[in-house]
Amino acid sequence: MAATDGIRCMLMRGGTSKGAYFVADDVPADPDERADLMLRVMGSPDPTQIDGLGGAHPLTSKVAIVSASAEPDVDVDYLFLQVVVDRPVVSDAQTCGNLLAGVGPFAIERGLVEPRPDETPVRIRMLNTGDLATTVIRTPSGVVAYDGDTAIDGVPGVACAIELEVGGGSPLLPTGRVTDEVAGRTVTLVDNGMPVVLVRAADLGVSGDESPADLESRGDLVRAVEEIRRAAGPLMGLGDVAAQTVPKVFLLSAPREGGAIATRAFIPTRVHTSIGVLMAASVAAALRIPGTVGAELAVLPDAASATLVEHPTGTFPARVAVEERDGVWYGTSVSERTARKIFDGTVFPRPRL
């Protein structure tokens, strides 16, 4: 793509993340060409991402690519790309439940889904994982509504509520075991839309209520977390994850703010200032399975109520359901997010890396 070529792009906040949204036809189909383009769009590799759209943090260096789906009973396909801030890496090994919140509005804005007069249902295939998500977007007079009264922790102000339901047809526990020994620690490996590793904060010598900056400053802790993450990758069917951003490692401790569990999430080396939608769904689902790491620390509500997952800037109400079938655990999740269109226009990628 020539340096002077611009690409139609919408910058959106989805949940507690922010990313660039593209229609698939507007970007290369070849993964290597697409990755090169997204590095130049976001300004990576550079710790400040000063020469691109990225915001110098994993939560603001994300991309959603959306297309009309050829699958029956599916409206759009959604491919998520994590653009690493300071390395020339673009990963499709995970999905993002936060950017998922913006997919429905974006699809309607771009004409991929025909709006209805009041509310518009959108069924989304998540290409990274194969999972299906359903949502209903408010579209009064056929126009996406962003204004509303819903607040979510980690985002200032209020916006229009967007409910996301993600159904998982895959087992929750990749190894089939409630706990595993990984890098000398007892952990639970779980995937309810996002592969995560659960470990007790106390087992890593921290209390679990530290600030993200404090945890990131502890070199020995960061190295221990990364050792666990890399060892867990092959067990979760992810292979060598040295260059990937999954799985995410969660430090769990007893709740302090009236929730079910306290969390600190490494994503993978920075610590999340809140929590991702599918990360919370995975944590909450694991707590509902007897014998998992964190189950003994959790203060769980009844099965019909949301599981309040505490994070550095508040709590996330994760509504999950788990069931055991023939000795295998399965789960689904429902979450409420918000999204907002920030700008719609043309982005000009830098000429070369």
Residue found by looking up tokens 């340096």 in the block = 3
Confidence of residue 335 (pLDDT cuts 50, 70, 90): confident
pLDDT score at 256: 96
**Contacts of 243 by beta carbon, 8 Å cutoff, 6+ apart:** 89, 91
pLDDT score at 142: 96
pLDDT tens-digit series, residues 194-248? 999 999 999 999 999 999 999 999 999 999 999 999 999 999 999 999 989 899 9
Distance in angstroms (rounded) separating the CA atoms of residues 122 and 180: 38
pLDDT score at 334: 87
Confidence of residue 2 (pLDDT cuts 50, 70, 90): low
Judge whether residue 327 has pLDDT over 70.
yes
pLDDT tens-digit series, residues 308-318? 999 999 999 99
Helical pair 97-109 and 277-287, crossing angle rounded to 10 deg: 140
Two structure tokens written together for 12: 């959106």
Structural domains of the chain ordered from first start: 7-169+338-347 (3.10.310.10), 180-334 (3.10.310.10)
Averaged confidence pLDDT in the chain: 95
Burial 261-278 (b: 16+ CB within 10 A, else e): bbbbbbbbebbbbbbbbb
- What DSSP character marks residue 174? T
Neighbours of 346 (CB within 10 A): 9
pLDDT tens-digit series, residues 11-38? 999 999 999 999 999 999 999 999 999 9
Confidence of residue 170 (pLDDT cuts 50, 70, 90): confident
Q: Which pTM does this prediction carry?
A: 0.80
Q: Say whether the peptide bond before residue 268 is cis (omega within 30 degrees of 0).
A: yes
pLDDT score at 353: 80
- Determine what percent of the chain is predicted with pLDDT higher than 70: 98
- Using CA atoms, how far residue 73 sits from 152, 326, 333, in Å, is 30, 29, 20
